[in-house]
């Protein structure tokens, strides 16, 4: 004999939602047909539950859909008896959205807003349209979205004063609007990666500020000829208390070599 109660059951749409059922099976049993969005504890027992039964707890991942989803599970007793259980997951109606803006370490470069969509604390599985509003001489560079699944997505945008983009919100999400200066003393270009440091050679008159410690001991800058010195630099490069380490240059016979060729 094997019996489960209640059947069917509904589980919440948010991440880590749980629901319990009572399984009665006086012998060993195993659970089959679990979908990848659902886990069970326990999922098997070699000795059974006893006459009074025992709880089985189901835990769900977040439902990314705008509709419910269901799975039919099978409990199988060691004598071959089976019982079905249908688990339906509700729509997640409680995703949170956080809007932020970054240019490194300080504020004042612009604002962000929702122009179309639900309130930020109850998004559901819907879409929102967000807008970045650069301030002063700053321009919008890109959107960066991170969510509670550890995923990151980047949306590059046009460098204009009305950079709007529509996102599908399927998890608790933070949207960052990244603004960039124009290279003047009041709005220097921020350098936070080795690639951005290499790009300095493309605008030798601008003002730059280093936003992180950089290690040049990475490919392709630590092999063959190594780092190609930046040309005649007449701008301003503010180290901002950070370091640039492991500079490698192998250019025998060349003069005026270093991070910069001339300053």
Position 149 scores a pLDDT of 58
Could you tell me the mean pLDDT of each successive run of 10 residues in the chain, 263 residues long?
93 88 94 96 90 91 83 95 95 68 50 63 61 75 71 55 66 76 84 89 90 92 89 92 93 83 86
Looking at residue 156, what is its pLDDT?
Answer: 57
Burial of 205 (0-12, 13-18, 19+ CB in 10 A): exposed
Cβ–Cβ under 8 Å, residues 93 and 14: no
Q: What per-residue confidence (pLDDT) applies to 226?
A: 87
What is the separation of C-alpha 142 from the centre of its chain, rounded to a whole number of angstroms?
15
Tokens representing 13 are 């749409």
Element (H, E) at 195: helix 194-198
pLDDT at residue 135 in the model: 74
- The predicted pLDDT at position 236 comes to 94
52: left (phi over 0), alpha (psi -120 to 50) or beta: alpha
Which among 104, 180, 190 is positioned nearest to 140, based on CA atoms?
A: 180
C-alpha to C-alpha distance for 208 and 181, rounded to whole angstroms? 9
- The pLDDT assigned to 161 comes to 40
pLDDT of residue 170: 65
Angle CA 43–44–48, to nearest 5: 135
Say if CB 49 and CB 1 are below 8 A apart.
no
Q: Hey, what are 145's tokens?
A: 């979205």
Q: What is the structure's pLDDT at 95?
A: 63
Q: Following CA atoms 44, 5, 75, 16 in sequence, which dihedral angle do they give, to the nearest 10 degrees?
A: -60
């Amino acid at each position: 004999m094997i019996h489960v109660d209640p059947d069917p059951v509904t589980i919440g749409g948010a991440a880590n939602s749980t629901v319990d059922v009572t399984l009665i099976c006086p012998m060993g049993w195993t659970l089959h047909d679990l979908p990848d969005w659902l886990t069970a504890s326990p999922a098997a027992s070699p000795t059974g539950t006893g006459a009074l039964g025992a709880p089985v707890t189901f835990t769900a991942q977040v439902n990314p859909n705008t509709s419910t989803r269901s799975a039919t599970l099978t409990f199988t007793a060691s004598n071959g008896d089976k019982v079905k259980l249908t688990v339906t997951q509700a729509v997640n109606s409680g995703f949170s959205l956080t809007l932020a803006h970054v240019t490194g370490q300080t504020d004042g470069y612009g604002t962000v807003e929702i122009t179309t969509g639900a309130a930020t604390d109850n998004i559901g599985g819907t879409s929102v349209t967000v807008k970045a509003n650069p301030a002063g001489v700053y321009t919008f560079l890109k959107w960066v979205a991170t969510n509670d699944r550890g995923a990151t997505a980047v949306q590059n945008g046009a460098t204009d004063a009305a950079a709007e983009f529509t996102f599908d919100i399927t998890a608790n999400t933070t949207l960052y609007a990244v603004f960039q200066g124009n290279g003047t003393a009041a709005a220097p270009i921020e350098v936070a990666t080795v690639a951005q440091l290499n790009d300095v050679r493309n605008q030798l008159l601008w003002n730059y500020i280093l936003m992180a410690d950089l290690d040049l001991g990475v490919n392709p800058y630590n092999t063959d000829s190594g780092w190609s010195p930046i040309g005649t630099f007449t701008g301003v490069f503010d180290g901002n208390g950070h370091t640039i380490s492991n500079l490698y240059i192998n250019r025998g016979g060349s003069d005026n070599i270093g991070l910069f060729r001339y300053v």
